[in-house]
C-alpha cells in the first residue's frame, strides 16, 4: 500500500473516532474510564494458606450458614468432614463457650468422576430469637470448631439491613481481594448471584477438589453470616465425557437453601424474608416458560409479597436481563419475555444478577409493550420498573468483560469493568443506598453510589410531587 493511501485511511479513521466520541458523549449514562490495577487471573495454588485444612482428626471444614426458614429465625449450618461421617450435631447458645442447645442434621456424600466427596453435613437450627448473637460449635473434642452469627431484626417495614452482593467469585487473588473488601463493608448477609467456585474449569477429580478448596476459602465469611445462594452456569457441570450428566450435582449436595419454607419444590428457586426485604431467588438455568414449576411458583410467590411488612422487593438471578456488555449480551431474553411484566406489575425494587464480569446499573426501564406483532421493541423509562444491577465482577479466573457496546444504550446508567462487590444499605421503608465498591479503592470509596426510593412506599409520594412541580420524568428515573 502506498504511503499516501495509508495517510488518507488514517485520517478517515480518526474522523470516524471523533464522530463516535461525540455520539458517545450524547448519551446519559456513564462508562467509567477508570484504569484498574489487578492481580493476575489465575487460581490461587492449593497449598496456599487461604485453603488451609483445619488441623485435627475429622475436623469440620468449609463451614457455611444460610437462612433456614422464611422469616429469618433459623439458619442451616453446613460443613464437611473428611475422615468419617461423625456427628451432624450443632451445639449452640447465646453466650460464648456455653452451648446449652443443640440440633441434629443430616449427612450426605457423592462422587464426581473418581472423586469421592467428604461427608457433607446440613443442620437446621431453628426457633432463634431476632437480633441476637449466637455462638455455635461443631465437631468433636480436640477437632471441634467454634463460630458465631447474628440473627436479623424482626420482619418490619422499617428494619434497617445491609446486604452485600457478590457474584462470579472463583478462587483467584482477585477473588480474595473482593472477599476481604466485602468483609470490611459492614454487610450483614450476602446475596450471592451465582457462579461460585469455577471448579468446572478443571477436569476429572480436580473438579471436586476445587469445590472443597472454595468452601475453605469462603469460610472466613460464610461461617459467620448467611450467604443466600443462587446457581449460575458454572454450577451446571454437565460433563458427559467423564460420565457426569446430572446438572448441579456438586452444588446441590454442598449448598442448602430453605426452599420448602417458601413452598418451592426445588432448591434452585425460593424466597426468604429478612428484616424489611422480600428476596426472590430464581434459576436462570431451569425451565421458566409458562406453566413450568418455576413459573407457577414465582406467580404465587409474588402474590404472597406484603409490601406493608417487607417494603423492599428484590430478585436475584444469575443472568442479567439488561446488560450492555458484549459478553453474554441478550442471554437474559428468555427470562425477560416471561417475567419482566410481573417485575413491573409488582414494582420490584432491584434485580441483582452476575454472569457478566463487570459492574452495570440500569435506569428504571421496561420493554413490556413489545410483542411479536407490535413494533415497540425498545426499553422505555418506566417508574414502576426495577433497577437492574449486574455484579459479576467477583474475580474468577476468566477475567473481566471489558468490551461494552458503543454508544452506551440509554437504559444503562453506569458501567465499569473492574473487580468489586456491591452493598445495599436499607435504611427504612422509603430509603436505601446502593453502593458499588471496586477493589482498587479500598472499602471507604464506593465507585458508584445511588439513593433509591422504595417502589411501594415512596414512588406514589414522589409522583404526586413531580406532577405538582411539572417536572419531567427524564433525568429523575433513578428514583
Ligand atoms: C458415602 O459414604 C459411605 C460411608 O463411608 C460409603 O459407604 C458410600 O460409598 C459413600 N457414597 C458415595 C456416593 O460416595
Ligand atoms: C401487541 O402489541 C400491540 C401494540 O402494542 C397491541 O395493540 C396488541 O394488543 C398486542 N397483542 C397482544 C396479543 O398482546
Ligand atoms: C429514612 O431514611 C432516610 C435516609 O437515612 C431519611 O432521610 C429519612 O428521614 C428516613 N425516614 C424516616 C421516616 O425515618
Ligand atoms: Fe456465569
Is 234 among the residues known to form the active site? Answer: no
Q: Which of 270, 215, 231, 267 is nearest to 50 (CA)?
A: 215
User: Mean pLDDT throughout 457-466?
Assistant: 65
Q: How far apart are the first and last CA of the chain?
A: 56
Q: How confident is the model over 399-444, as pLDDT tens digits? A: 999 999 999 999 999 999 999 999 999 999 999 999 999 987 765 5
Counting ligands in written order, which one lies closest to the CA of residue 368?
Answer: 2
Residue 461 — pLDDT band, cuts 50, 70, 90? low
**Predicted local confidence at residue 204, as pLDDT:** 96
108 to 14, 105, 247: CA distances (angstroms): 63, 10, 17
Q: How far is the CA of 233 from the centre of ligand 1 (A)?
A: 27
User: Mean pLDDT throughout 55-84?
Assistant: 98
Q: How many whole angstroms from its chain centre is CA 148?
A: 23
**Cβ of residue 110 lying under 6 Å from some atom of ligand 1:** yes
User: Mean pLDDT throughout 95-117?
Assistant: 97
* Contact status, residue 64 vs residue 79, Cβ threshold 8 Å: yes
Sheet hosting strand 350-353, strand order edge to edge: 30-31, 412-416, 359-362, 387-391, 350-353, 312-316, 277-281, 270-274
Q: How far is the CA of 474 from the centre of ligand 3 (A)?
A: 24
Distance from C-alpha of 68 to C-alpha of 149, rounded to nearest angstrom: 13
**Cβ of residue 37 lying under 6 Å from some atom of ligand 2:** no
List 288, 328, 435, 437, catalytic entry: 328
Residue bearing the CA closest to ligand 2, atom 3: 374
Residue bearing the CA closest to ligand 3, atom 7: 431
User: Mean pLDDT throughout 301-324?
Assistant: 98
**Cβ of residue 220 lying under 6 Å from some atom of ligand 3:** no
Q: How far is the CA of 357 from the centre of ligand 4 (A)?
A: 8
**Predicted local confidence at residue 375, as pLDDT:** 79
**Predicted local confidence at residue 13, as pLDDT:** 43
**Predicted local confidence at residue 372, as pLDDT:** 84
* Contact status, residue 368 vs residue 342, Cβ threshold 8 Å: no
**Predicted local confidence at residue 340, as pLDDT:** 98
Ramachandran sector of residue 318 (left: φ over 0; alpha: ψ -120 to 50; beta: rest): alpha
**Predicted local confidence at residue 2, as pLDDT:** 39
Beta-ladder partners of 343: none
Which sequence spans correspond to the domains of the chain?
155-464
Counting ligands in written order, which one lies closest to the CA of residue 393?
Answer: 4
31-55 in b/e burial notation, b at 16+ Cβ within 10 A? bbeeebebeebebbeeeeebbeebe
**Predicted local confidence at residue 39, as pLDDT:** 64
Residue 7 has pLDDT above 60, yes or no: no
What is the dotted CATH code of the domain comprising 155-464?
3.60.21.10
Q: Which position has the grid cell 411501594?
A: 456
Which atom of ligand 3 is nearest to 429's Cα?
1
Residues in the chain: 479
Distance from C-alpha of 258 to C-alpha of 394, rounded to nearest angstrom: 25
* Contact status, residue 171 vs residue 45, Cβ threshold 8 Å: no
Amino acid at each position: 500500500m502506498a504511503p499516501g493511501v495509508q495517510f488518507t485511511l488514517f485520517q478517515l479513521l480518526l474522523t470516524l473516532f471523533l464522530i463516535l466520541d461525540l455520539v458517545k458523549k450524547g448519551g446519559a449514562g456513564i462508562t467509567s474510564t477508570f484504569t484498574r490495577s489487578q492481580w493476575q487471573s489465575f487460581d490461587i495454588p492449593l497449598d496456599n494458606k487461604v485453603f488451609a485444612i483445619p488441623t485435627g482428626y475429622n475436623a469440620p471444614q468449609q463451614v457455611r450458614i444460610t437462612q433456614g426458614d422464611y422469616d429469618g429465625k433459623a439458619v442451616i449450618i453446613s460443613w464437611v468432614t473428611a475422615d468419617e461421617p461423625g456427628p451432624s450435631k450443632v451445639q449452640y447458645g447465646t453466650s460464648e463457650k456455653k452451648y446449652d442447645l443443640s440440633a441434629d442434621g443430616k449427612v450426605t456424600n457423592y462422587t464426581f468422576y473418581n472423586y469421592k466427596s467428604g461427608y457433607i453435613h446440613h443442620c437446621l437450627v431453628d426457633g432463634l430469637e431476632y437480633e441476637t448473637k449466637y455462638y455455635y460449635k461443631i465437631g468433636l473434642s480436640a477437632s471441634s470448631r467454634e463460630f458465631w452469627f447474628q440473627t436479623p431484626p424482626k420482619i418490619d417495614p422499617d428494619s434497617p439491613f445491609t446486604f452485600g452482593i457478590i457474584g462470579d467469585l472463583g478462587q483467584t487473588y482477585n477473588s480474595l481481594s473482593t472477599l476481604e473488601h466485602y468483609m470490611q463493608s459492614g454487610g450483614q448477609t450476602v446475596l450471592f448471584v451465582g457462579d461460585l467456585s469455577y471448579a468446572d474449569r478443571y477436569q476429572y477429580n480436580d473438579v471436586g477438589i476445587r469445590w472443597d478448596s472454595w468452601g475453605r476459602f469462603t469460610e472466613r465469611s460464610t461461617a459467620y453470616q448467611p450467604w443466600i445462594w443462587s446457581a449460575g452456569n458454572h454450577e451446571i457441570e454437565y460433563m458427559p465425557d467423564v460420565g457426569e450428566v446430572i446438572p448441579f450435582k456438586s452444588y446441590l449436595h454442598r449448598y442448602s437453601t430453605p426452599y420448602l419454607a417458601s413452598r418451592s419444590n426445588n432448591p434452585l428457586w425460593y424466597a426468604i424474608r429478612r428484616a424489611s426485604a422480600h428476596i426472590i431467588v430464581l434459576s436462570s438455568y431451569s425451565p421458566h416458560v409458562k406453566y413450568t414449576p418455576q413459573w407457577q411458583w414465582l406467580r404465587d410467590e409474588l402474590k404472597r409479597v406484603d409490601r406493608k411488612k417487607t417494603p423492599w422487593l428484590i430478585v436475584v438471578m444469575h443472568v442479567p436481563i439488561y446488560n450492555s456488555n458484549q459478553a453474554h449480551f441478550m442471554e437474559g431474553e428468555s427470562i425477560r419475555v416471561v417475567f419482566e411484566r410481573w417485575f413491573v406489575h409488582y414494582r420490584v425494587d432491584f434485580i441483582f444478577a452476575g454472569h457478566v464480569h463487570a459492574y452495570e446499573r440500569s435506569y428504571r426501564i421496561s420493554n413490556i409493550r413489545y410483542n411479536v406483532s407490535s413494533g415497540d421493541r425498545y426499553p422505555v423509562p418506566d417508574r414502576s420498573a426495577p433497577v437492574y444491577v449486574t455484579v459479576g465482577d467477583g474475580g474468577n479466573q476468566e477475567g473481566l468483560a471489558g468490551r461494552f457496546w458503543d454508544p452506551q444504550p440509554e437504559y444503562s446508567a453506569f458501567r465499569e469493568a473492574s473487580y468489586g462487590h456491591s452493598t445495599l444499605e436499607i435504611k427504612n421503608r422509603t430509603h436505601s443506598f446502593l453502593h458499588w465498591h471496586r477493589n482498587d479503592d479500598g472499602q471507604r470509596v464506593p465507585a458508584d453510589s445511588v439513593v433509591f426510593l422504595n417502589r411501594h412506599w415512596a414512588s406514589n409520594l414522589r409522583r404526586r410531587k413531580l406532577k405538582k412541580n411539572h417536572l419531567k420524568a427524564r433525568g429523575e428515573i433513578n428514583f
